[in-house]
Amino acid sequence: MIATKSKSFEDITGFIEKYHNIFITGCGDCAVVCKTGGEPEVAAMKVALEKLGKKVTGTAVIDPSCHLVEVKKTYQQHKEEVLNSDAILVMGCGDGVRSILEGMKKPVYPALDTIFLGETVRGGYFKETCSLCGDCVLDRTGGICPFTCCAKALLNGPCGGQSKGKCEVDKEKDCGWIMIYNRLKEINELDKMTQIRQAKDCSILIKPRELVVEGATVRVGAR
């Protein structure tokens, strides 16, 4: 789940101030869950822009807007509306913005801020659980990511600052490494706490990255 929040309407109108004809896209996946880019939000944005005197040439909620093939399909379905626009306002994550740029070849502007990849705890509550680091250690930490759940991103912990299971950086939050300890104890794998984890190979974080799947071969690397 990609968590997003809406930018201020003032920021959005500032981005597109010089354009008159606007095409709006939403996302039928994560942005629907976050209530930032589904059908109701796109419809509300259309009304708001038209009240400012903008012409909305069309709207589309793409499912999902980060899927380039779906973006290209949507372009074909709304080709005249897109071509008649000066710019596209994207109510989706940052990856959606890039996909729509690639698939529709128009100036694109984000209506949302992309926050993190995480889990849906319950309706309206999302929690960051993965940092997309490319070097997963969950097999050694009971399924809890230290790189994400520890405020210091320590791969060997806990640090000396934790107190009563709480993090010294934010005393309202549970210490990630105490969470890992408790989980490993629960599944009888506490011996993994004594294993020293090597520093991450940060070369795999060089961006932008790409993943190519060809038959049984998978290649990952910087583009």
Hey, where are the domains in the chain?
A: 2-116, 131-214
DSSP state, residue 208: S
User: What are the strands of the beta sheet with 125-130, ordered from one edge?
Assistant: 2-6, 112-122, 125-130
pLDDT digit string (tens) for the chain, length 223 residues: 899 999 999 999 999 999 999 999 999 999 999 999 999 999 999 999 999 999 999 999 999 999 999 999 999 999 999 999 999 999 999 999 999 999 999 999 999 999 998 888 888 888 899 988 888 899 899 999 999 999 999 999 999 999 999 999 999 999 999 999 999 999 999 999 999 988 888 787 788 878 788 765 555 555 5
DSSP H helices, 107-208, are 146-149, 176-186
Q: Which two tokens stand for residue 60?
A: 């589309």
Q: Please give the class, per CATH, of domain 2-116.
A: alpha beta
Peptide bond into 110 cis (omega under 30): no
Q: Give the number of other Cβ atoms within 10 Å of residue 44's Cβ.
A: 11
Tokens 């294993």 locate to: 195
Alpha helices in the chain (DSSP H): 9-15, 30-33, 39-51, 68-77, 79-83, 94-104, 146-149, 176-186
Which residues, 6 or more positions from 165, have their beta carbon under 8 angstroms from its beta carbon? 174, 175, 178
Instruction: Answer yes or no: are the C-beta atoms of 188 and 213 closer than 8 Å.
Output: no
Give residue 44's identity as a one-letter amino acid code.
A
The burial class, CB within 10 Å (0-12 / 13-18 / 19+), for 83 is middle
- Cα separation, 126 vs 115, in Å, equals 10
Q: Can you give the pTM of this predicted structure?
A: 0.83
Distance CA 113, CA 6 (A): 6
Residue pair 36/4 in contact (Cβ under 8 Å)? The answer is: yes
In the chain, the N- to C-terminal Cα span, in Å, equals 24
- Pairing relation of β-strands 21-27 and 55-62? parallel
